[in-house]
Structure 1
Amino acid sequence: MHLPDSTWTEAGALDTDLALLPVGSTEQHGPHAALGTDVATAEAVADAATDAYDGEVVVAPSIPVGVAEEHRQFPGTLWVSPDTFRSYVRETVAALAHHGWDRVVVVNGHGGNVPALGEVCATISRRDAAYAVPFTWFEGVGDHREEMGHGGPLETALLRHAAPDLVREGRIEEAATEAAERWGEWVSRVNLAVDSAEFTENGVVGDPREGSKERGEELLALASAALVELLSAIEGRDLAPPERR
């Protein structure tokens, strides 16, 4: 059940403690993919998992602005500090838990959110009246994840399947021609680059031409299946804290 589309009486009638909180970013994804790519992909995976799950799940409104200052040179990119992002996620989960939806998966579509999400979900589970875990969709797609990039084959494929209006098909060739081959500028296993503009002229990493609609369908199936498995594990998990040793 999507909270924004429901009434308070419908929300109150739900018999579940499971919730999904999609989070993403509003940031550049090259000349061919919309600024809202990370939100759209997180929502697509959350929706597919909700449809497939054998039980009720609450889907909270998405958080559309994340930790994305690394894309600040590209117009339209928005960002907040990690502290602000962690606080917003934590307080949103607390509000969900207030209504009894206290087992929460934060469904993430943006790599820059990962460190902050790991920290805040651990804090929630240790300190608050809730249990939260992060799930980044492109980590749940098997061997495909090796080609993640940025605005590259995976994101382009999933958009083509789930939100085709967000892809500017006439700019795919341009996006591919000027794309970087890998994320970052690496020396001795250290990334010397702070911002994406240091290593990609147009914001793209990877070849979006390899992101077909059919591949997007497969990616959505893989990611949503992984999320369904996670929901099942969380629903049955004993949340009692371990004994002191």
Structure 2
Amino acid sequence: MDLSDATWTDVRNLETDLAVVPVGSTEQHGPHAPLGTDVLTAEAVADAGIERVDREVVRAPAIPVGIAEEHRQFPGTMWVSEDTFRDYVGEAVASLAHHGFDRVVLVNGHGGNVDALREVGGRLTRNGDAYVVPFTWFEGVGEHTADMGHGGPLETGLLRHCEPDLVREDRIDEALAGAADGWGDWTSYVNLAYDAAEFTENGVVGDPEEGDARRGEELLSLAADGLARLLETVAERDVSRPERR
């Protein structure tokens, strides 16, 4: 059930404790992909994963702004601090738990959110508020994960499959011309760059042309299958905390 479409009386009658919260970002994805890429992809994976499980799941509204200050040189990018993000996600999930939806999977579409979401999940779980785990879709697509860039083949491919009208196909050559080969500027295993503009001219990392709609369809299938397995596991898991040793 999508909470945005439901009434409170619909929600009152649900017999499930399992919820999914898509989490993304509003940030540049090069000249060819929309600022909402990370939200759109997280929502697509969340919905496809839910469709694959034979149980009721509450689908919460997406959280559209995340930890993205590294893209601040590119107009339209929005961000909040890590503290604000953790507090907001944590309180949003706690409100779900208040209504009995206390097994929660956070479906994430933005790399900058990863560490904070893991911290939020651990804190809420250890405090007994809810059992919360994050799932970042592009980490669950097998060998494709190695090609994850930014506005590159994975995100562009998934958009071409799910939201083709939002990809500016006439700007793909421009996107590639100003792209970086990899994320960051590395020496001695240290990333010297704090902002994306230090190593990519137009915000793109990777070749978006390598992400066609067929690849996007495969990515969605792989990510949704992984999410479905996770949802089943979370639904059946013993979430009581271990005793002190």
TM-score bracket, shorter-length normalisation: over 0.9
Matching residue of 2:27: 27
**Structure 2 unaligned residues grouped into runs of 5+:** none
| 1:183-235 deviation line (CA, Å, top 9, x unaligned) | 00000000000000000000000000000000000000000000000011111
Aligned 1:28-43 pairs, distance under 5 A: 28-43=28-43
RMSD, aligned α-carbons: 0.6
- Unaligned 5+ runs, structure 1: none
Distance in structure 2 (CA, Å) of the matches to 1:91 and 1:128 = 14
Check whether the contact 1:94–1:128 (CA below 8 A) recurs between aligned residues: no
CA distance in 1: counterparts of 2:139 and 2:168, whole angstroms: 25
**Aligned-partner residue type, residue 210 of structure 2:** E
Partner of 1:86: 86
Structure 1: distance between partners of 2:32 and 2:53: 33
Q: Distance in 2 between matches of 1:128 and 1:78?
A: 32
Residue of structure 2 in register with 1:71 after alignment: 71
- Report the equivalent of 2:224: 224
Give the aligned length: 245
Residue 165 of structure 1 deviates from its aligned partner by 2.2
Report what 2:205 is aligned to: 205
After TM superposition, the structure 1 = structure 2 runs for residues 150-165 of structure 1, keeping only pairs within 5 Å, are 150-165=150-165
SS at match of 1:10: helix
- Provide the rounded CA distance (Å) in 2 between the counterparts of 1:64 and 1:41: 11
Distance in 2 of aligned mates of 1:236 and 1:206: 39
What one-letter code is carried by the residue in structure 2 that aligns with 1:52? Answer: R
Counterpart for residue 171 of structure 1: 171
State the partner residue of 1:52. Answer: 52
Offset at residue 94 of structure 1 (A) = 0.6
Contact 1:39 1:109 in 2 (8 A): yes
1:188 equivalent in structure 2: 188
Cα displacement (A) at 1:240: 1.2
Contact 1:37 1:155 survives alignment (8 Å): yes
CA apart distance, 1:124: 0.6
Superposed CA deviations along residues 72-120 of structure 1, whole A, max 9, x for unmatched, are 0000000000000000111011100011110000000000001111111
How many Å apart are 1:53 and its aligned residue?
A: 0.9
Q: Deviations over 1:168-188 (max 9, x none)?
A: 111011101221000000000
> Identity, % of aligned pairs?
69
TM-score by length of 1: 0.99
The alignment status of 1:214 with 2:211, answered yes or no, reads no
C-alpha displacement at 1:129, in angstroms?
2.0
CA–CA distance in structure 1, aligned partners of residues 239 and 25 of structure 2: 30
2:220 is paired with a residue whose SS is helix
SS in structure 1 of the partner of residue 4 of structure 2: helix
